[in-house]
Amino acid sequence: MATKELDTTKNAVPFDRANIPGPKMAKAVKAEVAGKFISKAKRPLLIVGTAAGDDGVIEIVRSMAEKGIPVAATGSSLKRLKEEGIDATYVNLHALVSYLKDPDWKGFDGKGGYDTTIFLGHTYYYASQLMSTLKNFTKIKIISIDRHYHPNAQQSFGNLKPDDFIKALDVVVAQL
Amino acid sequence: MVIKKGKFTIEGLENVQINIGKVISSDEEKEEPQGPTPAPDIHELRDWDMRLLKRYEPVYSPICDLCCYCTYGKCDLTGNKEGACGINQEAHQAREAMLRTLTGAAAHAGHGRHLLNHLIERFGADHPIDVGPSNIKAPVTQTVLGIKPETIGDFVPVLDYVEEQITQLLATTHIGQEGSAIDFESKALHAGMVDHVGMEVSDIIQISCLDMPKSQADAPLVDVGMGIIDSTKPVLLCIGHNVAAVTYIMDYMEEHDLFDKIELAAICCTAHDMTRVNPKAKVVGSLSKQLKYIRSGIPDLIIVDEQCIRADMMRETSKLHIPVIATNDKVMYGLPDRSNDDIDDIINDLASGDQPGVLLFDYDKVGELAPKLVMKMAPIRKEKGITALPSDEEFKKLASSCTQCGACVIGCPQGLEIDKAMEAAVEGDLTLFEELHDKCIGCGRCEFECPKDIPILNVIEKAAQKVIREEKGKVRTGRGQVGDPEIREEGVNLVMGTTPGIIAIIGCPNYPDGSRDVYEIAEEMLQRSYIVVTSGCSAMDIGMFKDDEGKTLYERYGGSFLKGNLLNTGSCVSNAHITATTIKVAAIFARRDISGNFEEIADYVMNRIGAVGLAWGGFTQKALSIGTGCNRLGIPVVLGPHGPKYRRAYTGKPYDKDKWNLLDARDGSVHNVEPAPEHLLISAENKAELMPLLAKLCFRPGDNNLGRMIKLTHYIELSEKYLGVLPDDWHIYVRSEADLPLAKREKLLKVLEEEHGWKIDWEKKKILEGPARKVDVSFQPTNVPRLCKGASE
């Protein structure tokens, strides 16, 4: 099976070569592991950037939303998500990380904060820099299921080819 | 008799020397009252800072988790751990951000000091300040220091103050000094404020002495772009920010009738200031054009002064036999100082290539030498056809040698897909490279990553030659300050909100998606009647694009301080005129005393004036200090997606109602208000997210109904246009039905009733219940208890 050949842990170097934050960098994980990790979250939040509107990725967002994971639409992703009928809440990513580090924030549904953030479809350097806020100042788990290795996440894929990326996302969704 | 400053002796009493340091005029004696904080030290505006920082909490985004600041370390601060000295990640990040702010402030102040010393020597300390038709000549200086300079010599103690504050602030970053993140933030805000003083000094003295436009709305239009230079002529390129030396070149060229024989052009802010002095000079473009233009081989001589000049200048120019003359001790490149040498000797050494460049601090010599040298260099270089760009054949070979390994993409700060463009070029398709040209910031990092040693930047430029030839725009030369009469005319519209806001597009060209973004942002906001103010690299890039009729925005929109106008204040240091404008509104429209009264003025600006800064491509330390100075004055700033690399932002939390309490200055009563402005410093991922954010950040608690209605109209329209939805927080800005956009009133009332549970009287189309507060036209919002009648801190 194609999925068995897929190894998302390869090429785990920052997509921006100089983006070496320090001794604590993301563990490169297989897609199955990422999926299981997400499925164990009690209060997950899928944070999607503008590139999540790309063909292929948008279906993954839909699948995850249908599995009950709330979707925070950052950048200008909301327009495409709404067109696709996917329920999401717009929020500025910079503002969102400041809310997430606030223990008094009640979340989008008023039920409290989130224990796991899942990043998908972001401008690489932008998301990387804002993940560092969560990494350094919160206990929230950060998992990147984006195409490129994110050192500031807790778990991330390595740098993937476009086809492998979509396959990896399918594997993630299958675990939910 | 006119009494001047200086040293005097009296005839017959030669042993007696009289020193007159400051002449106080009778007008000055009648000045407005001095406020509580003239020339404040670091701690004196701390209370104001704490008010800001309580509402807009710093949010840190470390770019590096380590602290490498002393030999105790490296220390791993990941997870907000403490290092060996006891500092934690939060405070370290605050210190790092403060240091960058301070670096920016020092760059402007150092520029100002150099210029002030030079201009005093050239024109005398008594040379009067002339900024145009204004009584408030130096608003930032007056507000911060409490003094009203009349001559350029009056700015000496002003810069003394700025330099002292910079020294004291820098001292706090030493080991064993400040350990509190929040106090580092207060210090950063202080650095930002003094930066605006330093900038104001720099620009006012050059406007006054060098006959630059003085509040001139119809300042001349000049050419901008890589395609505007006639490369058949000798090309003299200036790079940097300090126009002092270049003025001598322009004077010499005028005296010897050389402007039609030599192309005098510049990159970065020296370009702005050259054209302010003499509009015959040309603007090649912003900072991102620097390496690209050098590599083109078109310049026959380069003059550098200070700031934003590439560190690899000599390596690049030596290869292309372009001599460099460095004219300022901030940038000396290890070159020999030839200031005392004979001009002809220097020319011979540079033309022969015996020396790749020289230092020349004698500006009379620079003025004469540069035109002579460039005319000597041009035939030598043109005969040899020296350029770094590959021939057509070489280009094909280089593109074919690309193995598609993707190392360049990983090396590119923008992650540009250079590999795909190479692949297409091999097939003869250059469109990807042509698109990439505008997005490429010209840093050259890709070349260091390429295992095949492909000179990628040269390949991009070669492929984009067709596009580059068409890069011909217009920029209005820097107009300087907004004049007092303009404030009188427009201030009321701005405070009442009938002009929806001021969008100040400033800073560098590290744009996430090319320079076209700033043009489109400016165009949309101008069409919506915002006042768009710009400066520096952004001002150039805005002028690079044209409409269907071939007109740039500067040709389509007026340059006055009126709604729907586009104002280029000038170079980086002209940013001070943007903050100065808000101070003038407080002084002229609201009749607030400004001398030494920073806190009250900042409080007024934050609650009344819908001004927003945008540093869409900001990457320098100066851009951060400019933004931080805006923040202390109560002006929110938005950064592009590279912005979080500055390490901290000031974001608001609209859900935390307690943070949005304001006082009514009439009686000190507390009012819970809408989050306006919602953030003080924040970033956006892309232009589509930015547009509604800009409109939202123009809301102010002091808006009247008409103003709020207009602002809400734009916020809703921009959100619907770019994000496809009615924003989910629009209703919190509604205080009564009169705040609702007219065209959508009924529809929005229905939304308020159905989705937010508000009670509506449908017969009268009135809101009966729902808004967090009602409109009170007499409401005097303030964050400062001492400004309230009958209240104390």
Q: Which sequence spans correspond to the domains of chain B?
A: 6-132+144-209, 226-469, 473-769
* Token code pair at residue B689: 């997210």
In whole angstroms, how large is the CA radius of gyration of chain A?
Answer: 15
Q: State the amino acid at position B591 in one-letter form.
A: R
Tell me which residues of chain A, numbers 43 to 102, contact chain B at a CB-CB cutoff of 8 Å: 49-50, 74-76, 78-79, 82-83, 89-90, 92-95, 97-99, 101-102
Q: Do domains B226-469 and B473-769 have the same CATH topology?
A: yes
Q: Are B680 and B631 in contact (CB under 8 A)?
A: yes
- Is residue B387 pLDDT above 90, yes or no? no
Q: Report the alpha-carbon distance of residue B438 to residue B441 in Å, rounded.
A: 8
Q: Nearest-CA neighbor of B471 among B434, B444, B424, B507?
A: B434
Q: What is the mean pLDDT of residues B303-328?
A: 97
| Cβ contacts of B410 on chain A, cutoff 8 Å | 13-17, 159
Is residue A7 assigned to a domain?
Answer: no
Residues linked to residue B759 through DSSP beta bridges, in sequence order: B769
Q: How confident is the model at residue B790 (pLDDT cuts 50, 70, 90)?
A: confident
| Cβ contacts of A50 on chain B, cutoff 8 Å | 685-686, 688-689
Residue count (chain B) = 793
Residue B384 has a pLDDT of 87
Q: Report the alpha-carbon distance of residue B115 to residue B247 in Å, rounded.
A: 12
Is residue A21 assigned to a domain?
Answer: no
For chain B, helix (H) and strand (E) counts, in that order, are 29, 25
CATH at residue A155: 3.40.50.1220
- Considering only alpha carbons, which residue of chain B is nearest residue A73? B723
Alpha-carbon torsion B4, B5, B6, B12, what sign? Answer: positive
Q: How confident is the model at residue B9 (pLDDT cuts 50, 70, 90)?
A: low
- Which top CATH class is B6-132+144-209? mainly alpha
Residues linked to residue B638 through DSSP beta bridges, in sequence order: B614, B682
DSSP per-residue string spanning B470-509: T--EEEEPP--SPPHHHHHHHHHHHHHTSS--EEEE-S--
| Cβ contacts of B77 on chain A, cutoff 8 Å | 136
Residue B180 has a pLDDT of 98
pTM attached to this predicted model: 0.95
The upper half-sphere exposure of residue B534, i.e. CA atoms within 13 Å in the direction of its Cβ, equals 34
Q: Nearest-CA neighbor of B341 among B351, B333, B349?
A: B349
Residues linked to residue B681 through DSSP beta bridges, in sequence order: B637, B650
Q: Report the alpha-carbon distance of residue B707 to residue B729 in Å, rounded.
A: 18
Residue indicated by tokens 């040379």? B127
Question: Where does B210-342 have alpha helices with state H?
Answer: 244-255, 269-277, 290-295, 313-319
Peptide bond into A162 cis (omega under 30): no
**C-alpha torsion A13→A15→A21→A25, nearest 10:** -40
Q: Nearest-CA neighbor of B150 among B204, B113, B109?
A: B204
- Considering only alpha carbons, which residue of chain B is nearest residue A124? B415
Q: Report the alpha-carbon distance of residue B584 to residue B138 in Å, rounded.
A: 10
DSSP per-residue string spanning B108-161: HHHHHHHHHHHHHHHH-TTPBP--SS-S-S-HHHHHHH-----BGGGHHHHHHH
Q: Report the alpha-carbon distance of residue B381 to residue B391 in Å, rounded.
A: 17
Of B65, B415, B722, the CB nearest to A16: B415
Give pLDDT tens digits for B257-277: 999 999 999 999 999 999 999
* Token code pair at residue A99: 């809310």
Q: State the amino acid at position B547 in one-letter form.
A: D
Residue B777 has a pLDDT of 86
Q: Are A72 and A89 in contact (CB under 8 A)?
A: yes
Of B60, B449, B723, the CB nearest to A90: B723
Q: Nearest-CA neighbor of A148 among A127, A132, A174, A176?
A: A127
- Is residue B496 pLDDT above 90, yes or no? no
Q: State the amino acid at position B309 in one-letter form.
A: I
Of B60, B653, B685, the CB nearest to A75: B685
Q: Report the alpha-carbon distance of residue A152 to residue B88 in Å, rounded.
A: 18
The CATH architecture to which B473-769 belongs is: 3-Layer(aba) Sandwich (3.40)
CA distances from B377 to B110, B345, B384, B627 (A): 33, 14, 11, 42
- Is residue B95 pLDDT above 90, yes or no? yes
Report yes or no: A17 at the B interface, CB cutoff 8 Å.
yes
For residue B754, the SS3 value is: helix
Task: For the domain made up of B226-469, give the CATH fold.
Answer: Rossmann fold (3.40.50)
| Cβ contacts of A79 on chain B, cutoff 8 Å | 688, 722-725
Q: Report the alpha-carbon distance of residue B643 to residue B590 in Å, rounded.
A: 34
The set of residues, in sequence order, having a beta carbon less than 8 Å from that of B567 and lying 6+ positions away, is: B217, B479, B482, B531, B532, B533, B534, B559, B560, B561
Q: What are phi and psi of B511, to 5 degrees?
A: -75, 150
Give pLDDT tens digits for B605-630: 999 999 999 999 999 999 999 999 99
Is residue A3 assigned to a domain?
Answer: no
The set of residues, in sequence order, having a beta carbon less than 8 Å from that of B214 and lying 6+ positions away, is: B130, B131, B132, B133, B207, B480, B481
Terminal Cα-to-Cα distance of chain B (whole angstroms) = 49
CA distances from B421 to B353, B388, B438, B464 (A): 37, 20, 13, 11
- Is residue B131 pLDDT above 70, yes or no? yes
* Token code pair at residue A116: 């796991």
pLDDT tens across the length of chain A (176 residues)? 444 579 999 999 999 999 999 999 999 999 999 999 999 999 999 999 999 988 889 999 999 999 999 999 999 999 999 999 999 999 999 999 999 999 999 999 999 999 999 999 999 999 999 999 999 999 999 999 999 999 999 999 999 999 999 999 999 999 99
| Cβ contacts of B415 on chain A, cutoff 8 Å | 15-16, 124-125
For chain A, helix (H) and strand (E) counts, in that order, are 7, 7
Q: Report the alpha-carbon distance of residue B479 to residue B346 in Å, rounded.
A: 37
**Structural domain span for residue A52:** 28-174
For residue A86, the SS3 value is: coil
Cβ distance of B64 and A104 shorter than 8 Å = no
ipTM over 0.85: yes
| Cβ contacts of A92 on chain B, cutoff 8 Å | 682-684, 689, 693
Give pLDDT tens digits for B289-298: 999 999 999 9
| Cβ contacts of A106 on chain B, cutoff 8 Å | 655
Using a CB cutoff of 8 Å and minimum separation of 24, what contacts does B400-405 make? B400/B426, B401/B452, B401/B454, B402/B426, B402/B452, B402/B454, B403/B451, B403/B452, B405/B451
Distance from CA of A14 to the nearest CA of B (A): 8
Cβ distance of B685 and A93 shorter than 8 Å = yes
DSSP per-residue string spanning B358-417: EE---HHHHHHHHHHHHHHHHHHHHHHT--SSPPHHHHHHHHHH-----HHHHH-TT---
Residue A130 has a pLDDT of 98
- Is residue B10 pLDDT above 70, yes or no? no
Residue B27 has a pLDDT of 45
Q: What is the mean pLDDT of residues B40-69?
A: 98
Distance from CA of A137 to the nearest CA of B (A): 6
Residue B362 has a pLDDT of 98
Cβ distance of A16 and B80 shorter than 8 Å = no
- In which region does residue B104 sit, left (phi positive, over 0), alpha (psi from -120 to 50) or beta (all else)? alpha
Q: What is the mean pLDDT of residues B68-74?
A: 95
Cβ distance of A78 and B685 shorter than 8 Å = no
Q: State the amino acid at position B312 in one-letter form.
A: D
Burial class (CB in 10 A: 0-12, 13-18, 19+), B646: buried
- Considering only alpha carbons, which residue of chain B is nearest residue A18? B411
Q: What are phi and psi of B669, to 5 degrees?
A: -70, 150
- Is residue B120 pLDDT above 60, yes or no? yes
Q: Are B305 and B270 in contact (CB under 8 A)?
A: yes
- Is residue B88 pLDDT above 90, yes or no? yes
* Token code pair at residue A19: 């983006």
Cβ distance of A136 and B89 shorter than 8 Å = yes
Q: State the amino acid at position A130 in one-letter form.
A: L
Give pLDDT tens digits for B460-482: 999 999 999 999 999 999 999 99
Alpha-carbon torsion B780, B784, B789, B791, what sign? Answer: positive
DSSP 8-state code for residue B589: I
Q: Report the alpha-carbon distance of residue B611 to residue B694 in Å, rounded.
A: 9
Q: Which residue in B412, B513, B650, B689 has the most chain A C-beta atoms within 10 A of its own C-beta, making it the best mutation to test that interface? A: B689
How many angstroms from the chain centroid is the CA of residue B639? 12
Residues linked to residue B500 through DSSP beta bridges, in sequence order: none
Question: Where does B572-613 have alpha helices with state H?
Answer: 576-584, 598-608
Cβ distance of B59 and A101 shorter than 8 Å = yes
Terminal Cα-to-Cα distance of chain A (whole angstroms) = 20
Distance from CA of B392 to the nearest CA of A (A): 31
Number of domains chain A contains: 1
Q: How confident is the model at residue B448 (pLDDT cuts 50, 70, 90)?
A: very high
Is residue A13 assigned to a domain?
Answer: no
Cβ distance of A82 and B725 shorter than 8 Å = yes
Q: Report the alpha-carbon distance of residue B305 to residue B285 in Å, rounded.
A: 16
Q: What are phi and psi of B292, to 5 degrees?
A: -60, -45
Report yes or no: A24 at the B interface, CB cutoff 8 Å.
yes
